[in-house]
Chains A and B, each alone.
Chain A
Amino acid sequence: MTKYIGKSVKRLEDKRFITGQGKYTDDIKLVNMAHAYILRSPYAHATINSIDTSEAKAMEGVVAIYTGADIPEAIAGVPCGWQVNFKNGDIMKEPPHPLLVRKKVRHVGDGVAIVIADSKAIAKDASELIDIDYDIHDAVTDPKAAAQAGAPLVHADVPSNTCFDWELGNPKEEVSAAMASAAHVTELEFANQRVVPNAIEPRSAIGHYDTAHDRYTLYTSTQNPHLTRLLMCAFVLGIPEHKVRVVGPDVGGGFGSKIFHYTEEALVTFFSKIVGRPIKWTADRSEAFLTDAHGRDHVTHAKMGFDADGKIVALQAYTYANMGAYLSTFAPAVPTYLHGTLLQGLYTTPKINVDVTATFTHTNAVDAYRGAGRPEATYLLERIIDLAALEMDMDPAELRLKNFIEPFDGVEQEGYVTQVALQYDSGNYAPVLNRALEMVGYEAFRKEQAAQSNGKLLGIGFSTYIEACGIAPSAVVGALGARAGLFESAQVTVQPTGKVSVYTGSHSHGQGHETTFAQVVADRMGIAIEDVEIIHGDSDRVAFGMGTYGSRSLAVGGSAIVKSVDKVLEKGAKIAAHLLEASPDDLDYADGKWTVRGTDKSVAFGDVSLTAYVPHNYPEGLEPGMDFSSFYDPTNFTYPFGAHVAIVEIDKETGAVKLKRFIAVDDVGNVINPMIVDGQIHGGLAQGIGQALHEGTVYDESGQLINGSYMDYCMPRADDLPSFEVDRTVTPCPHNPLGVKGAGEAGCIGSTPAVVNAVIDALWKGGFKVKDVPMPMTPERVWTAMQ
């Protein structure tokens, strides 16, 4: 019985956001709070000869100034949470990421000193009086160039700047043999450029040491307060976890960049005890550009072989992945287990090998960014298959349909086992593409395209993707190098009056959990949605959690909630049975009451909950109360998939690309709130389209980020985008109780190659047979391709 599930319930959290009552970290003001400004390196690679803080310290209003030398040796820096080994079995190179550098700066923005003052303005003014003598060295920013002989070294003890090399899939000899048998081989070298996450709320952190209780509180703009607490306590500061509370209040977007434990969080926590005042640090936008972990940054060479019929026979991919100067929390997982494992795509490719070299460069760290690895995998596959269609003069949609894996539901038919270490849960791939073709009006479009003659080039591009989310079975990811479990927890507390408080370890920073989770709970318990409150983001209120990323909240966090709700109902049935003088087996639960089957004898949920807390007339041996915690560890990833189609028009004279239509048919399993899912898809599409056409970092020779502001770094805006045409199919996930797969990243994963393919298609049809135009496909780049 569903009163809420499947309905577009308006987001309960929006009232506070829309009326400006959201409370973000920077909105929090504590008594006697000091403010920190972090003085950062203006150079990408330099040795610090000396730092003189005396003049700055003398400034009125300055509380303290600390540099790397003031941080105890025992605090080596922020840790990496995922270990990947070299092909030869050696552990990856994992140089420390210090809270403040001691001797050498390794990227523009590397923290050199923390200035703590009565106001942020004073801290900033004082920072300008710090005198630092640097020796400047050559820098390298490109992941492939970094591995070449003679490249400047980021860490003296990491030869060739190589963090690790890694390989997955079938042996290379088998792949080469299959490739040799191919009737056609398509080869492509491309970059999946570096992008900046650009959450609208800059990162912010407040550290507060409470002498009375010998206890710290860290307020921080994070996607996972408990994980931050675990990493900071156990691996950085050595403070017992029960002595630290971490709160992630309202958070204005993360896109992955707020998963990671950052140096600033540890700095404000550590120094709050030393200076005896709460310390707030909030990044300004320039700092966000320089220090929020970036995304993507792969350089790839790939080959795909086809038989005479167009069936794929082999895929070989070589990728250089940029780690930046230091390893961020999940950085090593992104180009490996979140990328290499997805190279089966939707296709039956029998032989696949992927070879990844991860390198350090003199740039800000790169880590998971909306999609994390899967967009890179999708980009690789979908670019190369579209190009192959052009080269073989086949229809790109037919070529895909020909290669799709047959449908399987994961119940009657086994999940599909890939060549690259995964077993897909359930899938039915042709319908998403067919539906998209229908929505586009494919045949009519091809006619219109052929007839085009107004100085504009029309193109259509496809992308059919699969992704892995609902991350993840702990044992599986543990075997793959994760240094954490990836379960989720949930506590459901029924108040005596029958109102329900749900404590979830999933963190909402835009996704609408407070609504979606409440819909699930209200329906499952048969109560009104107003009677459910979703609580998240505070380690003192929520016992444990792994947080929100990898489109896992509903699939994993929602499943944990369902487990707890079921425990409540099970206990409720015992109490109800007692009150109704029946056996629990003879009761039905619906509409918020237990009824003795075949009678009109019933008892309401609220009466049962009251009885649980006022247990006068109560089952013998049953504990009072109604409060259950559960942990849910999934048995597999979930595998959403979809088909995206872009239609573009190129102005031949300027090279400007106009996105005319965008069609997305996604299958994210069961849908709890269609409006929220559409919203997630829309946002993801904008982000993926942004990467294709607008976004991308630009570094100069010396390692300066030269487009680190909104005047230079182009974010996609509403007027860059058409009205999206979205639809979906539903293939439930067979292994979680809600049958949901996850919708947070799909839009961003599928859309990028669709747009790029559309531009390439337009160019080919216009007579310009180029294999690639680098992203972002700026007017100049497209124009150049036509010269």
Chain B
Amino acid sequence: MIPTSFDYKKASSVEEALGMLGDDAQILGGGHSLIPALKLRLNAPGTLVDISKIDSLKVIRDNENSITIGAGVTHAEIAASDVLAQHCPMMGQAANAIGDIQVRNRGTIGGSIAHADPAADWPAVLLATDANVIIQGKNGKRTVDIDQFFKGFFETALEEGEIITTISIPKTAFNRNSTYVKFKQPASRFALVGCAAAVEMDGGSVKSARIGLTGVSEYAYRATGVENALAGKALNADTIASAVSGVTDSVDVMSDHYASEKYRSHLAHVFVKRALMNLSYSK
């Protein structure tokens, strides 16, 4: 459990960090995905650029139409945020379901989505929120729609030498009516299946729904089939049961020693159903 040797640089601003990111360098956030990989020698960068002390990356800001979360905000800080609890309850629920207290105190939301573990919680949640990811590189800033961010197995829209600075969550009716449910892989407590659901109701029927799933496939995805099937319908056991049937339709479902393809698929159905049932009880 000894990594190969590396240089360590601590950045105090995003600009400074960008300057430090040479060829063989890698960003260090909370370290809770990267350090284990280094110790197992699955990864051996020459330099680590520590961004965890950059103040501007550590704030949650309540704006008029959005809430912006710095990439360096920890899971624990999200769990404790009142403004998120009010505008997007699934954020706090997901944060509390991550790992254990040490992991939540160190790990960051930016690090999690940059890493894009197929079983991580944030990808499903952010897909459901309709977030924007703000990324900074040497040539400036760009904004990526969350729907375009996750590209594959540990693969994202992030380019070499770029840093995620902010995640922007829109203040919407569906985010206010949202929930996250998770079936934990018993050893790691990552998501064997995690489902984030956000539903806007109009009178008695669903106006719009966003459903993100993690753990099921090689990367988190939106169950658009389910979202569409719900539109215009009442939210009750029957409509939910018929809508969830398509939850794994367009994806390859993973298989491992904790969950075969068949069982994982089944869990995906169960957890989408449970998430939607949670929302069907709420006003």
Contact = CB atoms under 8 A, between A and B. Distances in A.
B229 interface: no
B2 A124 contact: yes
Contacts of B1: 284-286
A128 B267 CA distance: 42
B186 A707 contact: no
Contact of A780 (B4, B188, B260, B270): B260
Interface string A694-737: 10001000000011001111110000000000000000000000
B229 to A, nearest CB: 20
B259 A780 contact: yes
B5 interface: yes
Contacts of A710: 187-188
A124 B5 CA distance: 11
B275 to A, nearest CB: 13
Contacts of A656: 183
B4 A698 contact: no
Of the four ranges (under 10, 10 to 19, 20 to 34, 35 or more), the interface on chain B belongs to 20 to 34
Contact of A707 (B36, B41, B257, B267): B257
B8 interface: no
Nearest to A125: B4
A417 interface: no
B188 A711 contact: yes
A654 interface: yes
Contacts of B153: none
A358 to B, nearest CB: 26
B270 A653 contact: yes
A775 to B, nearest CB: 13
A711 B186 CA distance: 9
The SS class assigned to the B binding surface is loop
B154 interface: no
A13 to B, nearest CB: 27
Contact of A120 (B2, B258, B259, B267): B2
B106 interface: no
A194 to B, nearest CB: 14
Nearest to A712: B187
A85 interface: no
A694 B4 CA distance: 33
A712 B183 CA distance: 15
A29 B261 CA distance: 50
Given A121-B2, A121-B5, A780 B187 contact: no
Contacts of B257: 698, 706-707, 712
B9 interface: no
A696 to B, nearest CB: 9
A710 B188 CA distance: 7
Interface in A154-198: none
Contact of B267 (A285, A654, A715): A654
Interface in B183-197: 183, 186-188, 190
A473 to B, nearest CB: 42
A147 B41 CA distance: 38
A783 B269 CA distance: 14
A714 B187 contact: yes
A783 B186 CA distance: 15
Interface string B34-71: 00100011000000000000000000000000000000
Contacts of A653: 270
B258 A780 contact: yes
Interface in A87-140: 120-121, 124-125, 128
A488 B263 CA distance: 53
A784 interface: yes
Contacts of A783: 263, 266
Contacts of B36: 711
Nearest to A696: B257
A602 interface: no
Nearest to A780: B263
B187 A713 contact: yes
Given A121-B2, A286-B1, A711 B263 contact: no
Interface string B1-33: 110110000000000000000000000000000
A281 to B, nearest CB: 13
Interface in A751-787: 778-780, 783-784
Given A286-B40, A654-B267, A779-B263, 14 more contacts: A120-B2, A121-B5, A124-B2, A125-B5, A286-B1, A698-B257, A707-B187, A711-B187, A778-B186, A779-B186, A780-B258, A780-B263, A783-B263, A784-B263
Interface of B: 1-2, 4-5, 36, 40-41, 183, 186-188, 190, 257-260, 263, 266-267, 270
Interface of A: 120-121, 124-125, 128, 284-286, 653-654, 656, 694, 698, 706-707, 710-715, 778-780, 783-784
6 contacts: A120-B2, A654-B183, A656-B183, A713-B187, A778-B186, A784-B263
Minimum-distance CB pairs A-B, first 5:
A714-B187, A284-B1, A711-B188, A714-B186, A780-B263
